[in-house]
Amino acid sequence: MYRVVLIDDEAIILEGLKKVVDWAGFGCEVVATAGDAACGMAMIREHKPDISFTDIRMPDMDGLTMIAALKSEFPDMQVAVLTGYADFEYAQQAIRLGVTRFLLKPSRMDEINETLRAMIANLERLSALRQAEGEASSNAEEEQGAGSFIVRNAVAYIEENCAGRLTLQDVAEHCYVSQWHLSRLLNKHAGKNYYDILNETRIAEAKKLLRDPCLKIGDIGDMVGYSDAGHFARVFKRLEGMSANEYRNRMKR
């Protein structure tokens, strides 16, 4: 039996999908439902379903980032999007991230049934590939695209929030992935760990601020996220090969 998780903030949609679709007839079983993105991700990590139907327009969520998180962490899982908003560009992005179908609410039964058939066909194809190529094979193309999307999102979030007390957990939660998975993606797609990216981002911002002679170096360190002036000095010298004061003096020439 293929395991299915349903995610939607409209209870009537969840109940309708659960009761009306002939899941058993498709060789499927609904193992969990969720009414929000956070709970949905938790259910997926707990049950590791083969198939997920999810809304992407729920409160306090970024639908595309959630899809990328799902496909980067579970590349073989088949995802169908349910939404009440017709947005062609959004649908294109979702499909590029590996979504099997983009369904508009209210969806017709024939559309849902066709989506299930397509998902099952994909799962059977992946199973056949695994048997032919060994257990190490995976849906690598989709994992690559979704992983790159997550890393771009993570780096952008770091750049926007680097001046605060930003942790790996904060960024992982923003991207709907675990800390371990985000660390793996950063190393794979950026070739750096979280703290390398954070420090490089902060020092790049510090270099811009050093052009203003009215700003004290100690204050600049604090402005870019270093509460300890000594730590700022050490990181700056390690990354730039000179002190912040030397860098400022060179900029004056």
Q: Give the residue extent of every domain in the chain.
A: 2-133, 140-196, 201-252
Q: Is the pTM of this model over 0.85?
A: no
Provide the 8-state DSSP code for 3. Answer: E
Q: Which two tokens stand for residue 3?
A: 């395991």
**Is 201-252 a domain of CATH 3.90.550.60?**
no
Arithmetic mean of pLDDT, 169-195: 93
Separation of alpha carbons 139 and 151, rounded Å: 18
Q: Let me know how long the chain is.
A: 253
Q: How far is CA 208 from CA 161, 221, 224, 244, 247, in A?
A: 16, 12, 11, 11, 11
Average of per-residue pLDDT across 219-241:
94
Same fold, 2-133 and 140-196: no
The CATH fold of domain 140-196: Arc Repressor Mutant, subunit A (1.10.10)
DSSP letter string, 89-144: HHHHHHHHTT-SEEEESSPPHHHHHHHHHHHHHHHHHHHHHHHHH-TT---HHHHH
Question: Which residues, in sequence order, are CB contacts of 245 under 8 Å at separation 6+?
Answer: 217
Percent of the chain with pLDDT over 90: 58
- The residues, any chain, with a CB within 8 Å of residue 43's CB and separated by 6 or more, are 5, 7, 32, 33, 34
Span 189-204, mean pLDDT? 95
Amino acid at the residue 221: G
Counting Cα atoms < 13 Å in the Cβ hemisphere of 70 gives 35
Average pLDDT, the chain: 89
Better-scored residue on pLDDT, 141 or 231: 231
Residue 194: what pLDDT? 96
* 119 residue type, one letter: M
Q: Which residues pair with 129 in a beta bridge?
A: none
pLDDT of residue 226: 94
Q: What is the pLDDT of residue 118?
A: 95
Coil, helix or strand at residue 145 = helix
Query: 2-133, which class in CATH?
Result: alpha beta
Mean pLDDT of 129-153: 72
